[in-house]
A and B are shown apart, each in its own frame.
Chain A
Amino acid sequence: MEIKKTSLYQLHQDCNAKFVEFAGYQMPIQYSEGILEEHKFTRNHSGIFDVSHMGQLFIYGGEDLIKDLEKIFPLDLKNLKLNHSKYSFLMDKDAGIHDDLIITKTNEGFLIILNAACKDNDFKILKELLKDKHKMVLDENRSLIAIQGPKSSEILNAVINGVKALNFMSGNWFTFENQKVYITRSGYTGEDGFEISIENDFVDKLTRELINKGSKLIGLGARDTLRLEAGLCLYGHDLDKDKTPVEANLKWAISKERISKGDFIGSDIIIKQLNDGVSKIRVGIKPEGKIIAREKTKIFNQSDVHIGEITSGTFGPSVNGPVAMGYVENEFSKKNTKVFLEVRGKKHPANICSLPFYKKSYVKGVN
């Protein structure tokens, strides 16, 4: 299969990107300054991320569509305000996670942002579940960029006037070069920021203008360290079909209203787990020393019993030390529980900690 390129490929090359293949796309892992500098620049100024490989699924419809989607997602979509977004999951009947996603109510229906590696399978699953009743477009003609960090609001507003007024997890249509762009105040770095859906032909121009105003392109490498410091999950690592949202410690994303009715896919398991508890749960883990515990590192308790596994682990540039998350048996999930991580044959002490590792600075919404 041919490797796909996003519409910003030329710009990435102009900025000396190092590329990696990710989910079938040639994506920038870093630029010349490197992951640490890119990470810090995003936290202190503003970084632009090409996330055009992610799926932008538009589903068109009204009241009927809301009812149908509520059978799939554990969300109160009926009461979701126009242009407001929610984090959610596509689950199987056992509440295993097919994908995690952001869904936004638009004037024509819903926009769902899907993970690149999952989008085609998600589309198939949703098309089957919705029985072809509603028009669905996985839009390949639009690019998606995120601009993240404390200066992003000012920078983006200088190019697209009015975005400053958006609240966190809400969006609207704006115009750039007479093109309709859909912008939400959201992101995946733990910083204030925006995601911009724009026609492929105009994304290069927009991105260059944002760079001229002081933002910089940031690669997938820093995206990973930023999201992990922010305690956010990466699908295929921290989430997969063998884990449920309750086990992933994401029950905050499940609508209480919907749990009381329990008529969505996976609701039986979700309700059971909420009532009876779970045997394993996702936690933050902070190694005591400098050792980095990466994905698949085994976790032991103080009696040397294997109690879990790391699902993401790296060096956190803003924390200035190693950070990780993983799943442990529920009884060892309390904050400050001492555990041991087996790295290269040696066990290193670590502590269960609360997430995020790095405190968020989102602009609070009215929601």
Chain B
Amino acid sequence: MSEVKYSKEHEWIKLDGDLATIGITKHATEMLGDIVFAELPEKGSNVEKDGTAGVVESTKAASDVYTPVSGEVVDTNQAIVDDPSKINQDPENSAWFFKLKIKDPSEMDTLMNKDDYDKFAKETSV
């Protein structure tokens, strides 16, 4: 069974074996507004936990996307680069950002479950 966890930077991560799918949360898209640009990490590159692994831009500003765990980028979602509005429409499902072959499963333990994240998101929103 796959588990979904959440970071304080508003990313979600779904783990299947050692394959992690990562995207940004619905709450994040609501804070950002209409997303008009997305940049993803390069396939084959290695990303480190809490490091920058992409960018999203709304009409107002650019925001970094961080990776909640370390690993090698094995796939990226070109569909959201071609049409960034997909991120607003379906952020926690089809509009995933990238997939990682993770290095250290214990990094998942540092992340929040859904209930904790929902609480965190509510507290940090204005």
Contacts and interface: CB of A to CB of B under 8 A. Distances in A.
A35 B60 contact: yes
Given A35-B34, A221-B33, A314 B62 contact: no
Nearest to B85: A36
B37 A30 contact: no
A224 B60 CA distance: 9
A294 B62 contact: yes
B118 to A, nearest CB: 21
Nearest to A37: B34
Interface residues of B, number: 13
Interface string A143-186: 00000000000000000000000000000000000000000000
B55 interface: yes
B36 to A, nearest CB: 4
Interface string A308-325: 000000110100001000
Contact of B33 (A34, A291, A292): A34
Nearest to B60: A221
Interface string B52-64: 0001011111100
A36 B36 contact: yes
Contacts of A317: 36, 59
B33 to A, nearest CB: 6
A290 B39 CA distance: 10
Interface in B60-113: 60-62, 81, 85
A225 interface: yes
A290 B37 contact: yes
Interface in A271-290: 290
| Size range of the chain A interface in the assembly | 10 to 19
A29 interface: yes
A29 to B, nearest CB: 7
A200 B85 CA distance: 39
A34 B34 contact: yes
A290 B36 CA distance: 9
B37 A291 contact: yes
B55 A225 contact: no
A36 B33 CA distance: 9
A252 B37 CA distance: 35
A322 B58 CA distance: 11
B36 A292 contact: yes
A314 B62 CA distance: 10
A292 B62 contact: yes
A124 interface: no
A344 B55 contact: yes
B36 A315 contact: yes
Main SS of chain A's interface residues?
mixed
Contacts of B37: 290-292, 315, 322
A36 B62 CA distance: 16
Nearest to B55: A344
B62 A221 contact: no
Contacts of B62: 292, 294
A29 B55 CA distance: 22
Contacts of A39: 59
Interface in A192-224: 221, 224
Contacts of A314: 59-60
Nearest to B61: A294
A315 B57 contact: yes
Contacts of A36: 34, 36, 59, 85
A315 B85 CA distance: 13
A26 to B, nearest CB: 13
A29 B32 CA distance: 12
Contacts of B59: 35-36, 39, 221, 224-225, 314-315, 317
The 8 closest A-B pairs by CB, nearest first: A315-B36, A36-B34, A35-B59, A34-B34, A315-B59, A292-B57, A314-B59, A35-B34
Interface of B: 33-34, 36-37, 55, 57-62, 81, 85
Given A30-B33, A36-B36, A315-B59, 20 more contacts: A34-B33, A35-B59, A35-B60, A36-B59, A36-B85, A37-B34, A39-B59, A221-B33, A290-B81, A292-B36, A292-B37, A294-B61, A294-B62, A314-B59, A314-B60, A315-B36, A315-B57, A317-B36, A317-B59, A344-B55
26 contacts: A29-B60, A34-B33, A34-B34, A35-B33, A35-B34, A35-B59, A36-B34, A36-B85, A37-B34, A221-B33, A221-B59, A224-B59, A225-B59, A290-B81, A292-B37, A292-B57, A292-B62, A294-B62, A314-B60, A315-B36, A315-B37, A315-B57, A315-B59, A317-B36, A317-B59, A344-B55
